[in-house]
Amino acid sequence: MASTKRLTQHDIAKLAGVSQATVSLVLNGAPTALARIPQETRERVQQVIRTTGYVADPIARRMAKGLNRILGVFTYEPAFPSEQADFFAPFLLGIEEEAQAQNYDLLLLTGAGVGRERKIFADGNRLRIADGCLVLGREFDRAELKRLVTGDYPFVAIGRREDAGGPVPYVGGDYASATRALVEKARSLGHGRLAFIGPSGSAESVVDRWRGFLDAITGNADLVLHVDEVGQGAAETLDAIIESGASAVFFVELADAVRVEAAARERGLSIPGDFSAVVLGSHVRAERSHVQFTSFNIPREEMGRQATAMLVRRIEDASPVEQILLTCEPVEGQTLGPAKKRT
């Protein structure tokens, strides 16, 4: 077989001295069908496959069996650069573990050929090589999400997604309940003047945190400061916190909390001595802190695992749309204490 042409099942059958149907059964057959082939024959076919390095053509397998046993993974942001790697790595770990358990391979789809802005439905995209696709990112393209919902291609979103012209299959974290629990804990410690540092809209994960926060503000609790964006100057944000008289500050992003805590220390203020600080989720950024912030844990690995299992169900059983929110367990941390008595 010195030729450079791709080996076929017909070639393997000739080398092994069996029929092409026998080769197909050895490669793809169910255990009951394989049992009808003598062990010696199976071993001979497998030896030829090993010797020649034959790999089944995925397109041919799709035509013959209907499945490639390949799951696509599409991310709207690059998964591997240093500033994003820690964010995506736990999701990818869970996806890989479950795909292996389900006997599927993974194909990373990057929207190649469309520049810096990634698109699922790019010209010449290879989406259909995979039997279905997992989609993740901080924010989704709404038009593409609607196209996925109205189409027949199996997909599952990682993270709650709405506003798509129909129900979206997803596995996400229950950020609203986790945020509400942290606010209620702060209130039980006497905090009635609360600040919220971060946006209240756009991505569902942000909306859920804001909704959970507002749901917990009842009775004698007041929102005395809302900085409706992230990444503001630490000194400016700290000035606003002090001026508002907030006793507990809730940060959407860990990076903002880290910078404000450092600025407070430079002024001789302490957390939680002078005011408490809570981070709404285990966000990961390049910046690190010597302080363990009170927060909640986002079960990223489990989200990846359950989303993968859901996608396999959609591919193999055409299961109906499922929407799962996983519990985000609280992280005690060191930054939430009793409210400072006002004089």
Whether residues 82 and 168 share a domain: the answer is: yes
Question: Tens of pLDDT along 157-204?
Answer: 999 998 788 899 999 999 999 999 999 999 999 999 999 999 988 889
Residues facing 279 on adjacent strands: 251
Whether residues 15 and 99 share a domain: the answer is: no
Q: Which two tokens stand for residue 146?
A: 């609607």
H-only helix segments in the chain: 9-16, 20-28, 31-34, 39-52, 58-65, 82-101, 142-150, 175-188, 204-216, 234-244, 254-266, 300-317
Least confident residue range of 66-75, 80-89, 130-139, 317-326 = 80-89
CA distance 37 to 43: 10
Q: Could you tell me if residue 209 is left (phi over 0), alpha (psi between -120 and 50 degrees) or otherwise beta? A: alpha
Instruction: Examine residue 216 and state whether it is found in any structural domain, yes or no.
Output: yes
Whether residues 246 and 98 share a domain: the answer is: no
Instruction: Examine residue 336 and state whether it is found in any structural domain, yes or no.
Output: no
CA distance 138 to 203: 7
Name the average pLDDT for the chain.
85
Give me the mean pLDDT over the 210-224 stretch.
Answer: 90
Whether residues 235 and 259 share a domain: the answer is: yes
Whether residues 95 and 244 share a domain: the answer is: no
CA distance 71 to 69: 7
CA quadruple 158, 159, 161, 167: dihedral sign: positive
Instruction: Examine residue 13 and state whether it is found in any structural domain, yes or no.
Output: yes
User: Which range, 65-79, 105-119, 126-140, 248-262, is most confident?
Assistant: 248-262
Instruction: Examine residue 3 and state whether it is found in any structural domain, yes or no.
Output: no
Whether residues 292 and 149 share a domain: the answer is: no
Whether residues 291 and 201 share a domain: the answer is: yes
Instruction: Examine residue 335 and state whether it is found in any structural domain, yes or no.
Output: no
Higher pLDDT: 126 or 285? It is 126
Instruction: Examine residue 292 and state whether it is found in any structural domain, yes or no.
Output: yes
Whether residues 221 and 163 share a domain: the answer is: no
The whole-number pLDDT of residue 32 equals 62
- What CATH number is associated with residue 216? 3.40.50.2300
Residue 343: is its pLDDT beyond 60? Answer: no
Instruction: Examine residue 2 and state whether it is found in any structural domain, yes or no.
Output: no
The whole-number pLDDT of residue 86 equals 66
In the block, tokens 């917990």 appear at 216
Whether residues 34 and 132 share a domain: the answer is: no
CA distance 134 to 335: 36
Whether residues 294 and 183 share a domain: the answer is: yes
Percent of the residues in the chain that have a pLDDT greater than 70, as a whole number: 85
CA distance 192 to 206: 23
The whole-number pLDDT of residue 24 equals 78
Whether residues 321 and 305 share a domain: the answer is: yes
Q: Could you tell me if residue 247 is left (phi over 0), alpha (psi between -120 and 50 degrees) or otherwise beta? A: alpha
Whether residues 182 and 126 share a domain: the answer is: no
- What CATH number is associated with residue 13? 1.10.260
Give me the mean pLDDT over the 24-30 stretch.
Answer: 71
Count Cβ atoms below 10 Å from residue 144 Cβ, excluding itself: 19
Q: Which two tokens stand for residue 3?
A: 């030729």
Q: Is 139 exposed, middle or buried (0-12, 13-18, 19+ CB in 10 A)?
A: middle
- If one counts the domains in the chain, the total is 3
Structural domain boundaries, residue 250: 175-298
Instruction: Examine residue 341 and state whether it is found in any structural domain, yes or no.
Output: no
Residue 277 sits at φ, ψ, to 5 deg, of -135, 130
DSSP 127: G
> Residue 270: pLDDT band by 50, 70, 90 thresholds?
very high
